[in-house]
Chain A
């Protein structure tokens, strides 16, 4: 049973458009939600984290969390070709008190000039 699910994509958007990346999780006790960006062959780079229901904005990025639906999303406004990467959704496991992260498979985003 997959614990964190993402559509692997690729998701293709034109430059300047809004990219919408989605993630669902199975553990209702999950408390913390993270979005990482990973370029090919590189390490995950933290973009945003969210703990509470609702929206959280940081520059061109908005994270949205709906715990009732067990759903978290990332919106990227004014997408740029440099945003082309794999976006990893990670969840801090509810039953763990160590802060370990459970990752989704990642969604590949392609921003076309």
Chain B
């Protein structure tokens, strides 16, 4: 069964360092997302990506964050200068179809720990 895959599963980084979280969405899906979940809190939308550009971003997704689809399969989230409060689970999701109502499937997540 097709699935969204994320690497690494756990990343520890020092405050101020740059991190890149990687995702391989389900093949032939068109819509890609990053969400995050701080421990004990709800899942929060960060950014959506379609047709090689950002289609929507939340207030959380400030200038420190960027996304890229460098090739036909990978979808990355970069945090330029990490802060302690960036520690969270980061989930990539993808959705197929042309309708915004089709369901999104999530990767297993990357746990980011900023020390």
Contact = CB atoms under 8 A, between A and B. Distances in A.
Contact of B56 (A43, A88, A96): A96
A99 B43 contact: no
A79 to B, nearest CB: 23
Nearest to B105: A46
A3 B102 CA distance: 21
A47 to B, nearest CB: 10
B104 A43 contact: no
Given A92-B101, A100-B33, A106 B107 contact: no
Contacts of A97: 55, 100
Interface of B: 31, 33, 35, 41-45, 48, 50, 55-56, 89, 91, 95, 100-109
Contacts of A49: 103
B106 A45 contact: yes
Contacts of A87: none
Interface of A: 31-32, 34, 36, 42-46, 49, 51, 88, 90, 92, 96-106
Contact of B45 (A32, A51, A88, A100): A100
Contacts of B103: 34, 46, 49
B33 to A, nearest CB: 7
A32 B48 CA distance: 17
5 contacts: A51-B101, A88-B42, A97-B55, A98-B55, A99-B95
A99 B91 contact: no
Contacts of A104: 42
A106 B42 CA distance: 7
B45 A101 contact: yes
Contact of A44 (B31, B48, B55, B91): B91
Nearest to B54: A98
Contacts of B106: 36, 43-46
